Structure 1
């Protein structure tokens, strides 16, 4: 069904009338920390001069997030923590359709909003009517998953779900929900990361086992995102210590003996035997006659069930006693564990995995690589995923997925330290791994193939393992280790650091507040740094030793600056790389600011001009001139110019984007900006990026265009760590003049003839038409600016045309 909320049902956030004086007060009070896409990740207000009361939350969201009439924020829930903070959470909607992973929270104390944090999407002109229905989209989703059997195909599992949920209508069969989500899978820079109308399905496959949210482009059928619900340990391995010896564990008694069940922790903890099968429904109880479970150390590994049962109780106790959290959902949810699970029964091989499937714990017996995966930190790690799904709900891909995995490792270490401090707290899987000394090392991630520095040695930049979630989690793991015990050294990017540890208990409290209060589903490492500093500030006060340690631990792993600004400015190698991979058709041919005045031809996609520089004064007005060079056709180019005002080695802070706009002109463009009075004095970096893709950021490679870096020396600044401004520079809607250079097709939908206009009315050198399956339609050509589509079957097609220089794409519909 289409979940499209009527406007009347939402908290509408459009333009609101308010006094100019009040707006100025709000602007003075606000300190903004920006995400990489230029949206506010954290807005902080001075408690002594509150800008908004909680009852003015609507106004706060509109003004500080600069929301438009199409944007709506729907209140999802309100939470109160032990520190007296009230957290009002909102989900973003665009024209009544939910925007996945876009949420914002107001944090208030005594009725005054002290800060607000989250992630929003800037969406413009997105079509909100799907071209295909949910049934059609589901076929694309199932073709992508490619399982041989699904849970809803098994009548026993369907009946078991109805019994488990106490709902006669419950089913595993996916029900489509229409949402807007970023396209995370398309490698095309013009489409990657672009908000897309999509059908969302919860697909639970039984053979082979998988469960994930699958997002299908509602126009093309393309899979735009896969967000795993089952986090497979064996992908790179998430296992834990060996069995924990003889322990006290609560059980229940009934006619015929004692069961591995207990009812005093939340709604209960229960452990079942899958009997080396793949069905939860046919699983049975473990039963012992005298409640003295000493005879289970056998060749069948039945003692693994005792570890799972005791481990689940230990994990529950940790969350309840340390963080005052009642089970993983903070509402006493029952914890069910299933051991002796095997996804391919009868093959003689144990299942080498353990996972949280979104509802229950599942453990295999291991085979070649592992012993049974039921030890304490496996329990803690997997239930940690359940905690994450009830709090930050971090999307399981790329950096947010690495954070998801890293937090589960943190909880594995924290629970083990709490319940079994004699174990190797900082090693993950050291006892059950039959091949390696350990799967992961939080104290030395490099030893097991993980990075200990952001984008340093062993950093994974590919698409496997959901974007390296089990590899790149090493950065968060090492941050937590350094924060807990301290460390002195030099990281992979040449930054020397010395951090005094604050102990694992304080570090865990900061980590938990970061995950449960501030992080959102799309958060990355930069956001984790910002939010953990805020969490430490909440818990221990601004300027505390804990805040300093959190900040310096992030600096130690290559994320952000050190505390206090006492560290020398980052060297050139600190900054992320940015480069165009093709300069055949366009490049930067002029950058002029003060004594920087450079004209050039193409520079292989990147020019290091940091030897060239100019001086500016904090608070001064400046004008920068720049222009593009073209081989022939003047294509539309997107300009973004950045200055690292606080000298923390990146361009993501508020106000550091001084120009953002587009132009299809080769003429010189001028833009004005003001150097903030809060800029840090000293030498810093100016970065100019010109790309033919609007989504290009300050980091990474892109297809057509060029990046140039220069130096700027600032004097008279107040040397704050963060730049406290409320407007992000000179964000122009259009720079220069000229028509956007895109491929035009009309009418669309078409019945017989499709008229085609190339950018600049250029020539048509090559034509290709493909259907949604990627199959090329033969015999297509453009004559006289027209494409004959009369013989095509009804449906959606992709048109590809080259003008001899660039290749352009456009979808069209044949009626």
Structure 2
């Protein structure tokens, strides 16, 4: 897709009305990059040509510096001679500790589940967090004997069990509802046994919330106005005109986008742009992160996907959020919580990259619910106030009830309130309830209370009373844990450890925050 030049000089803002639309559908929301660096080199240029911030320039500089030291780091970690490290991201926190996230290869093959993070303090002390502690080793005989099937690649599977030589294939297609699928299947190279599978496309269902008259970023183009926001990394909104493909950039003659009804095709475009905008603003203002990947680059939104498509999804391969128009093509699924949930899957993908299955998959889903909720609060939209209800505007149950409840997840009839040894075998949208419940208790505490007109009653496994530390602190703890301590294989016990470390870094080892994290996890029966 093309981009016009000189965005910053032509940037302007516009006011528009955004509509409420009702959508019927099935399930909601599913998948998800790392924080920016510090220091302040001279302004750099992004891939799109716009100036990037000093923080982003510093991040790029630190990544380049880390790339020159990968061999030395691999030696320090005593990795095998056939193992190499690939830098994924570098974060320097407020205390000067540098967290360098690496992917790993073996004999040139990707090691799935072999990622690790090296934490180096300002004083030079080094610690390492690994997705697996097991030795990566594949015999020369196995390597020479294994012949990858057509359209498959050789990998080392290390996410579960003993690391083993495997084949990864990707099958593309469509689900029954029209959602594109990119199914990864990993099989043992020797036995042919399936080891794992996951889909790159993470879907969601919802309805447009009534966001009222809002300001969104647009700019003047050669034939009118274009829905491109140069103040947020060049985020652009495209229309697919109820088809597929890349679509065309949304345009408008007078810079007044939509009329508040689905009859005007630019209403959905305006909603999508607003959802992306408040998500960008949240990550930047609260976590100092510019963009989904933390690189200052805007994503892409696409509206009017498919015919009667009752869904929405995030796709890393196009770095884009895509929305259907719902039943009868009259209920675009463009809302704040859907946008923030789905785009947060992109944040997870670029940071911990939590495997989308088992307990790590539940944590992946919960991360999107947590930040979807956080963005909704942060937006301070009078028409859609923040709450701890997921999809409360969707009404897919037909009775006005939300899709998920963070204070007591089991109220939806399927989600887990507490951890059990079977949690890893539960659908990730329901095992996510454990972390959602933890986040609510950490933020607000247990028991009955009313917040902004919504009544909650959060129980604990052992009946203990937990005092909350406040949502603002809880958000920061989860973000730091995700971006600096979690790996692709983190489970619930690992999430407890990661959040305790994050709370310690942020607020001190003996503070109420660490005690609150520990009490909240214990409240959902994750005891370490």
Q: Smaller-chain TM-score range?
A: 0.7 to 0.9
TM-score normalised over the length of structure 2: 0.76
Tell me, yes or no, if structure 1 residue 327 matches structure 2 residue 327. Answer: no
Which region of structure 1 is more displaced relative to structure 2, 221-230 or 302-311? 221-230
Aligned to 2:197: 226
Question: CA contact under 8 A between 1:514 and 1:532: conserved in structure 2?
Answer: yes
Aligned residues: 438
Please state how far the C-alpha of 1:91 moved relative to its aligned partner: 3.6
Distance verdict in 2 for CA 1:500–1:240, change over 3 Å:
farther
Q: Please give the alpha-carbon distance, in whole angstroms, between the structure 2 residues aligned to 1:260 and 1:56.
A: 46
Aligned to 1:427: 389
CA deviations 1:145-167 (Å, max 9, x no partner) are: xxxxxxxxxxxxxxxxxxxxxxx
Classify the secondary structure of the residue corresponding to 2:465: strand
Aligned to 1:452: 417
Which region of structure 1 is more displaced relative to structure 2, 117-126 or 356-365? 117-126
Question: CA contact under 8 A between 2:114 and 2:159: conserved in structure 1?
Answer: no
Please state how far the C-alpha of 1:446 moved relative to its aligned partner: 1.1
Aligned to 1:276: 242
Question: RMSD value over aligned CA atoms?
Answer: 3.0
Question: CA contact under 8 A between 2:408 and 2:459: conserved in structure 1?
Answer: no
The counterpart of 1:61, out of the listed 71, 77, 81, is: 77
Question: CA contact under 8 A between 2:447 and 2:459: conserved in structure 1?
Answer: no
Distance verdict in 2 for CA 1:293–1:442, change over 3 Å:
same
Please state how far the C-alpha of 1:532 moved relative to its aligned partner: 0.4
Aligned to 2:61: none
Tell me, yes or no, if structure 1 residue 200 matches structure 2 residue 168. Answer: yes
Q: Please give the alpha-carbon distance, in whole angstroms, between the structure 1 residues aligned to 2:360 and 2:508.
A: 27
Q: Please give the alpha-carbon distance, in whole angstroms, between the structure 1 residues aligned to 2:173 and 2:358.
A: 23
Greater helix proportion: 2
Classify the secondary structure of the residue corresponding to 2:167: strand
Classify the secondary structure of the residue corresponding to 1:325: coil
Question: CA contact under 8 A between 2:314 and 2:346: conserved in structure 1?
Answer: yes
Can you give the 5+ residue segments of structure 1 that lack an aligned partner in the other structure? 1-53, 139-175, 185-192, 561-647, 649-815
Q: Please give the alpha-carbon distance, in whole angstroms, between the structure 2 residues aligned to 1:240 and 1:549.
A: 35
Q: Please give the alpha-carbon distance, in whole angstroms, between the structure 1 residues aligned to 2:137 and 2:91.
A: 34
Distance verdict in 2 for CA 1:532–1:390, change over 3 Å:
same
Aligned to 1:74: 85
Q: Please give the alpha-carbon distance, in whole angstroms, between the structure 1 residues aligned to 2:71 and 2:248.
A: 52
Distance verdict in 2 for CA 1:241–1:415, change over 3 Å:
farther
Question: CA contact under 8 A between 2:408 and 2:437: conserved in structure 1?
Answer: yes
Q: Please give the alpha-carbon distance, in whole angstroms, between the structure 1 residues aligned to 2:407 and 2:381.
A: 16
Q: Please give the alpha-carbon distance, in whole angstroms, between the structure 2 residues aligned to 1:354 and 1:370.
A: 14
Question: CA contact under 8 A between 1:258 and 1:290: conserved in structure 2?
Answer: yes
Aligned to 2:432: 473
CA deviations 1:236-284 (Å, max 9, x no partner) are: xxx4771311101111112332221121212x1111111111222xx12
Instruction: Identify the structure with bigger relative contact order (alpha carbons < 8 Å, sequence gap 6+).
Output: 2
Question: CA contact under 8 A between 1:130 and 1:219: conserved in structure 2?
Answer: no
Q: Please give the alpha-carbon distance, in whole angstroms, between the structure 1 residues aligned to 2:348 and 2:482.
A: 7
CA deviations 1:358-410 (Å, max 9, x no partner) are: 12111112229994221011111111011111100111111111111100111
Aligned to 2:49: none
Aligned to 1:441: 405
Question: CA contact under 8 A between 1:371 and 1:432: conserved in structure 2?
Answer: no
Please state how far the C-alpha of 1:108 moved relative to its aligned partner: 1.7
The counterpart of 2:315, out of the listed 347, 352, 357, is: 357
Question: CA contact under 8 A between 1:497 and 1:555: conserved in structure 2?
Answer: no
Please state how far the C-alpha of 1:420 moved relative to its aligned partner: 2.4
Please state how far the C-alpha of 1:294 moved relative to its aligned partner: 4.4
Aligned to 2:185: 214
Please state how far the C-alpha of 1:445 moved relative to its aligned partner: 0.7
Greater strand proportion: 1
Classify the secondary structure of the residue corresponding to 1:197: strand
Please state how far the C-alpha of 1:460 moved relative to its aligned partner: 5.8
Can you give the 5+ residue segments of structure 2 that lack an aligned partner in the other structure? 1-69, 449-456
Aligned to 2:471: 504
Q: Please give the alpha-carbon distance, in whole angstroms, between the structure 2 residues aligned to 1:83 and 1:245.
A: 41
Please state how far the C-alpha of 1:218 moved relative to its aligned partner: 2.8
Tell me, yes or no, if structure 1 residue 551 matches structure 2 residue 518. Answer: yes
Tell me, yes or no, if structure 1 residue 495 matches structure 2 residue 462. Answer: yes
CA deviations 1:80-99 (Å, max 9, x no partner) are: 23331111334444555432
Distance verdict in 2 for CA 1:75–1:113, change over 3 Å:
farther
Aligned to 2:507: 540
Q: Please give the alpha-carbon distance, in whole angstroms, between the structure 2 residues aligned to 1:484 and 1:255.
A: 48
Please state how far the C-alpha of 1:505 moved relative to its aligned partner: 1.1
Return the index of the structure with the highest Cα Rg: 1
